[in-house]
């Protein structure tokens, strides 16, 4: 079932909204792709799905407006030769976007026509909890609220927020902050620049950012984190292993009370310290946590986790 909502006829028809609703008896495979705009996925309940798509009139990066102006000029000057309608509008981009459910897969994608690809779109998808989410965006903020299964999020620039992933999570962004809730099935994260925050990590995880701080909450898995210039912080390490490297930033690791740990810290130009009791020999039965941390010019500090 679908419907279109438009503004009154005497006003510009650039506020067209598409609303499509679908039957669903459980988690879906969500596949969302836009060039510019914003994507919000809301996962709750156990049935039904709904897609709302409209022109995104929010604040855009300056280069986005420049690209759209250039495309409009090209369309006006050469539209006949290129087969492009110079009257193409944001409303037309909304109309030509694809919203379709194929079996258990729900697809939402921006139009392929070159003059419409760079119209900023706002996509909001409601789907059952546990749905698997894949988002591809050129320049867009991406938000996933509720509990997801597998997650694969890619945006060239924009903020990424994820409440929870019970399956494997892959996050890639060229620039923009990343804020993650619990990731329970493993995490692969790569960011060109931007602050990275993850509240809880279980399983294997690899995080890398060119410039930006990395903050991790509770850690109980095999974690490797890299940043070119930024601080690396772990609030509560309880088990597993940590391999942390920063070129020019501080490393700070909080180790949970009662946890036996093997710690190897190195700083080329900073201070290395530990607030924990140090022993020369390993405890009987081995250690629960192994920590290896390297920093070029910052301090490397091990503390007791708060609480």
Q: Are residues 189 and 120 in the same domain?
A: no
Task: Express each pLDDT in 93-139 by its tens digit.
Answer: 999 999 999 999 999 999 988 788 889 999 999 999 999 999 999 99
DSSP 213-281: -EEEEEEEEEEEEEEEES-EEEEEEEEEEEEEEESSS-EEEEE-TT--EEEEEEESSS-EEE-S---SS
The answer to whether residue 48 sits within a structural domain is: yes
244-298 residue pLDDT tens: 999 999 999 999 999 999 999 999 999 999 988 877 777 777 899 999 999 999 9
Q: Is residue 245 part of a domain?
A: yes
Q: State whether 204 and 129 are in the same domain.
A: no
In a shared domain, residues 196 and 281: yes
157 inside domain: no
Residues 99 and 179 in one domain: no
Clarify whether residues 127 and 209 are in a common domain: no
How many CB atoms within 10 Å of residue 202?
A: 18
Domain check: are 239 and 300 in the same one? Answer: yes
Our CA angle for 180, 131, 170, nearest 5°, is 40
- Please tell me whether residues 117 and 175 are part of one structural domain: no
Whether 275 is covered by a domain: the verdict is: yes
Host domain of residue 72: 1-143
> Does one domain contain both 59 and 114?
yes
Judgement on whether residues 307 and 180 belong to the same structural domain of the protein? yes
Are residues 74 and 177 part of one domain? no
């Amino acid at each position: 079932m679908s419907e279109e909502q438009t503004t009154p006829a005497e006003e510009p028809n650039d506020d067209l909204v598409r609303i499509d609703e679908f039957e669903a008896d459980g988690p879906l495979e969500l596949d969302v792709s836009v060039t510019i705009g914003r994507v919000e996925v809301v996962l709750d309940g156990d049935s039904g799905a709904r897609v709302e798509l409209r022109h995104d009139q929010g604040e855009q990066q300056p280069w986005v407006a420049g690209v759209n102006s250039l495309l409009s000029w090209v369309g006006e000057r050469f539209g006949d030769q290129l087969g492009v309608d110079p009257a193409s509008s944001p409303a037309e981009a909304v109309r030509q976007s694809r919203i379709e459910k194929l079996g258990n897969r729900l697809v939402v994608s921006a139009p392929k026509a070159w003059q419409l690809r760079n119209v900023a779109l706002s996509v909001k998808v409601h789907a059952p909890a546990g749905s698997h989410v894949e988002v591809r965006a050129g320049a867009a903020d991406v938000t996933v609220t509720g509990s997801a299964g597998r997650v694969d999020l890619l945006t060239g620039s924009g903020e990424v927020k994820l409440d929870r992933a019970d399956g494997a999570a892959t996050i890639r962004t060229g620039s923009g902050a990343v804020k993650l809730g619990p990731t329970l099935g493993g995490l692969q994260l790569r960011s060109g620049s931007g602050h990275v925050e993850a509240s809880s990590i279980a399983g294997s995880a690899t995080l890398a950012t060119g410039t930006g701080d990395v903050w991790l909450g509770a850690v109980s898995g095999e974690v490797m984190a890299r940043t070119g210039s930024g601080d690396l912080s772990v609030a509560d390490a309880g088990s597993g292993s940590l391999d942390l490297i920063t070129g020019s930033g501080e490393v700070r690791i909080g180790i949970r009370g009662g946890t036996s740990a093997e710690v190897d810290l190195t700083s080329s130009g900073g201070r290395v310290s530990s607030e924990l009791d140090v022993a020369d020999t390993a405890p009987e039965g081995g250690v629960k946590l192994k920590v290896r941390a390297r920093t070029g010019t910052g301090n490397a500090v091990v503390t007791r986790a708060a609480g």
